[in-house]
């Protein structure tokens, strides 16, 4: 099952490659990406549809909950949140309407994680 990640990025050198590289390298398969540059050219809003790809161990998929934190530690990431499953919009062709699911309010990271076992 795929999950949607919404990321706001500073429009810095290599920011998009860095983000997509981080997702791919950490064992998640990118299924769809849209990226929109803000009118002032300073930030990108990126929506990434992904699913865990490389398991942690046979039969044990990677938890998707850790991915936003892995993205947030990139210096050019402003925010990164998983879309709430219910609020996830259907996949759209690129450039069609708003690519972003409503952003959940940014919670202070407590470090507690749910875990798929």
Partner 1 sequence: MPEMRGAEFVCRALEAEGVDTIFGYPGGAIMPFYDAIVGAKFKHILVRHEQGAAFAANGYARASGRVGVCVATSGPGATNLVTGIADAFMDSVPIVAITGQVRTFLIGTDAFQEVDIFGITLPIVKHSFLVRRPEDLPEIMRDAFRIARTGRPGPVLVDIPRDVQEGKADLSLLPRNLEEERPPAPSKESIQKAAKLLREARKPILYVGGGVGMANAIEEFRGFVKATQIPVVHTLKGLGTLPATDPLFLGMLGMHGFKQSNLAVQECDLLVCMGARFDDRATGKLAEFAPNAKVIHMDADASEVGKLRRTEAGIVGDIRPALKALTEPLPQVAEWRETCLQYKKDYAWNYEAPGDGVYVPAMLKELGEKADDKTIITCDVGQHQMWVAQHYGFRRPEHHLTSGGSGAMGFGLPAAIGAQLGRPDCRVICVSGDGSIMMNIQEMATLKRYNIPVKILLVDNQALGMVRQWQELFFAKKYSEIDLWDNPDFVKLSEAFGIPAFFVRERKDVPRAIDRLLNERGPLFAHVSIEQAENVWPLVPPAKSNAEMMVGDKTQK
CB of residue 87 to partner 1, shortest distance in Å: 23
Stretch that binds partner 1, among 31-39, 40-48, 91-99, 105-113 (CB under 8 A): 105-113
H-run or E-run covering 17: helix 15-25
Task: Please state, in angstroms and rounded to a whole number, the distance separating the CA atoms of residues 18 and 71.
Answer: 9
Nearest CB to partner 1, comparing residues 15 and 99: 15
Residue 105 in contact with partner 1, rule: CB under 8 A: no
Contact by Cβ (8 Å): 98, 31: no
73 is a site residue for partner 1 (CB under 8 A): yes
Interface residues toward partner 1, by CB under 8 A: 13-14, 17-18, 21-22, 25, 56-57, 60, 63, 65-66, 69-70, 72-76, 108-115, 117
């Amino acid at each position: 099952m795929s999950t949607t990640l919404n990321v706001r990025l500073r429009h810095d050198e290599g920011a998009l490659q860095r983000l997509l590289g981080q997702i791919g390298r950490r064992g998640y398969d990118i299924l769809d990406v849209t990226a929109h540059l803000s009118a002032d050219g300073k930030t990108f809003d990126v929506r990434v549809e992904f699913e865990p790809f490389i398991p942690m161990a046979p039969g044990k998929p990677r938890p998707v909950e850790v991915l936003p934190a892995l993205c947030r530690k990139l210096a050019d990431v402003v925010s990164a949140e998983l879309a709430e499953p219910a609020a996830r919009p259907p996949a759209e062709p690129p450039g069609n309407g708003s690519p972003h699911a409503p952003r959940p309010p940014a919670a202070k990271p407590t470090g507690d994680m749910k875990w798929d076992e």
